[in-house]
Amino acid sequence: MPSFKTENALLLSVRPLGEKNYILSILTKENGRYLGVIKTKKPPQIGSFCALRWQARLPEQLGHFYLDDVRSFYADFLDDKFRLYILSSLCALLNEVLPERQKAEQIYTLTLDFLDHFQESSLMKRYALWEADLLKALGFGFDLTACAGSGSADDLAFISPKTGRAVSREKGLPYAHLLLPLPSFLCHREEKAEKLQVIQALALTGYFLTTHAGVHHLPPTREQLLYALQTGRMKSEML
């Protein structure tokens, strides 16, 4: 009878199945994204970390989860809607882009590293970098080493929407209407990011998530984040 145990699975989604059953989607370090049914009156919240066991009669079956412990990450930020938006967006993206039952250790590791610093400042900048890293792990990363036209690594200011390769300001300006702006902090991660740069970065990663990585609809909470940024409703320390 196939089974596995995991101590620190990230809960990505919860769907009802009848009155007291739910289908959970989790991300594990060892087994990637897994689905399973859980019998409970009240399922854990999205973004929780779970210690659980999965078991099925046959490998191809959906199987069942048996919870041992739940640590609610969501509950730590009930008074901070923007952090909750980020957590919700992150979980929704992972749930959509990751195939079932395929190894995703790199994505699991970079996600936990991001969440380990979730209470710190500059969270929107780091979230944009997380999306860029997610694209890279999925095989759709940006090539920011040098300009696609000249080979120079200086003053990279645009990205080709077709290839993901950087273009310098000099080479790109005549074709700016065909290119996407490249915020400098994507090349130099230690730089402070301004509001417009974070908006540009999320527009860039959003474009590649939908056109290259197979995301059909960007999460509504991600759109709420962008709206809050654009209208000045987000505190400056979040940038």
Q: What confidence tens digit (pLDDT) does each residue in 150-162 have?
A: 999 999 999 999 9
Main-chain dihedrals φ then ψ at residue 234, nearest 5 degrees: -100, 140
Total structural domains within the chain: 2
The answer to whether residue 156 is domain-embedded is: no
The answer to whether residue 151 is domain-embedded is: no
Q: What is the CATH number of the domain that holds 51?
A: 2.40.50.140
Res. 34: pLDDT tops 90:
yes
The answer to whether residue 161 is domain-embedded is: no
Same domain, 191 and 138: yes
- For the beta carbon of residue 23, count every other beta carbon within 10 angstroms: 16
Q: Helices 81-97 and 105-116, interaxial angle, to 10°?
A: 180
Cβ neighbours of residue 136 closer than 8 Å, sequence gap 6 or more: 142
The answer to whether residue 169 is domain-embedded is: no
Same domain, 35 and 66: yes
Same domain, 59 and 93: no
Q: How many CA atoms lie within 13 A of 197 on its CB side?
A: 18
Q: Please report, rounded to a whole number, the percentage of residues in the chain having pLDDT higher than 70.
A: 100
Res. 232: pLDDT tops 90:
no
The answer to whether residue 212 is domain-embedded is: yes
The answer to whether residue 170 is domain-embedded is: no
Of 37, 57, 72, the position where a domain reaches its end is 72
Same domain, 51 and 134: no
Burial of 63 (0-12, 13-18, 19+ CB in 10 A): buried
Same domain, 208 and 224: yes
Task: Please identify which residue in the block is written with the tokens 């609809």.
Answer: 217
Same domain, 85 and 117: yes
Same domain, 196 and 127: yes
> Phi-psi bin for 234: left (phi > 0), alpha (psi -120 to 50), beta?
beta
Strands 21-28 and 64-71, how do they pair?
Answer: unpaired
Per DSSP, helices labelled H in 74-166 are: 81-97, 105-116, 123-138
Same domain, 205 and 88: yes
Same domain, 40 and 138: no
The answer to whether residue 187 is domain-embedded is: yes
The structure's pTM equals 0.96
Three-class SS state of 199: helix
Residues 84-113, buried b or exposed e (16+ Cβ, 10 A)? bbbbbbbbbbbbbbbeeeeebeebbebbee
Same domain, 50 and 135: no
Res. 174: pLDDT tops 90:
yes
Of 72, 105, 130, the position where a domain reaches its end is 72
Same domain, 21 and 139: no
As given in the structure block, the two tokens for residue 64 are: 């069942």
84, 72 Cβ separation under 8 angstroms: no
Q: What confidence tens digit (pLDDT) does each residue in 54-101 have?
A: 999 999 999 999 999 999 888 888 899 999 999 999 999 999 999 999
Burial of 34 (0-12, 13-18, 19+ CB in 10 A): buried
Domain residues for the domain of 20 are: 3-72
pLDDT at 181: 98
Same domain, 7 and 65: yes
Of 72, 87, 115, the position where a domain reaches its end is 72
